[in-house]
Amino acid sequence: MADDAPSRLLAPGGRVVMISGASRGIGLAIARRLAGEGYRLSLGVRDPAAFDLSGFDAAATLVARFDAAEPETASAWVAATAERFGRIDGLINNAGILRQLDFETGDESVLDEVWAINVKAPFRLIRHALPHLSAAGNGRIINIASTDGKRYRPGVSIAYTMSKHAVVALTQAAKFAGWDQGVRATALCPGAVDTDLIASIPGVTPRADRIAPETLAETVSFLLCLPNSSSVAELVMNTRLEPSI
Tell me the per-residue pLDDT of 106-131, one tens digit each, with 9 for 90 and over.
Answer: 999 999 999 999 999 999 999 999 99
In a domain, 198, yes or no: yes
Q: What is the pLDDT of residue 3?
A: 45
Active site residues: 160
Q: Which CATH number does the domain housing residue 110 bear?
A: 3.40.50.720
Q: Strand, helix or coil at 230?
A: coil
- Cβ–Cβ under 8 Å, residues 124 and 143: no
pTM above 0.85, yes or no: yes
Q: Is residue 242 part of a domain?
A: no
* Any domain includes 120: yes
- Can you give the pLDDT at residue 1? 43
Q: How many domains does the chain have?
A: 1
Looking at residue 216, its pLDDT comes to 97
| E strand or H helix that includes residue 115 | helix 108-115
Task: Note whether 187 and 235 are within 8 A (CB).
Answer: yes
Does 46 score more than 70 pLDDT? yes
Predicted confidence at residue 156, as pLDDT, reads 92
Indicate if the pLDDT at residue 86 is higher than 60: yes
SS3 62: strand
Give Cα separations from 34 to 101, 122, 152, 221 (angstroms).
35, 20, 32, 7
Tell me what pLDDT residue 208 has.
83
Cβ atoms of 141 and 91 closer than 8 Å: yes
Residue 79 parent element (H or E): helix 72-85
pLDDT single digits (tens) 177-230: 999 999 999 999 999 898 877 766 766 788 888 999 999 999 999 999 999 999
> Residue 221's pLDDT is what?
98
- What CA–CA distance (Å, rounded) separates 103 from 223? 37
Contact (Cβ atoms closer than 8 angstroms) between residue 177 and residue 183? yes
Backbone angles phi, psi at 218, to 5 degrees: -60, -40
Q: How confident is the model at residue 2 (pLDDT cuts 50, 70, 90)?
A: very low
Question: CA-to-CA distance for 11 and 33, rounded, in angstroms?
Answer: 14
Q: What is the pLDDT of residue 7?
A: 67
Do the domain assignments include residue 5?
no
Residue 181 resides in a domain: yes
pLDDT tens sequence across 53-85: 999 999 999 999 999 999 999 999 999 999 999
Three-state secondary-structure class, residue 154? coil
Q: If you average pLDDT over every residue of the chain, what do you get? A: 94
Q: How many CB atoms lie within 10 A of CB 54?
A: 5
CA distance 31 to 28: 5
Residue 56 lies in a domain: yes
- 213 lies in which domain range? 16-237
Distance of CA 159 to CAs 39, 116, 121, 146, Å?
35, 11, 16, 13
**Is 231 a domain residue?**
yes
Largest CA distance in the chain: 55
Residue 40 within any structural domain of the chain: yes
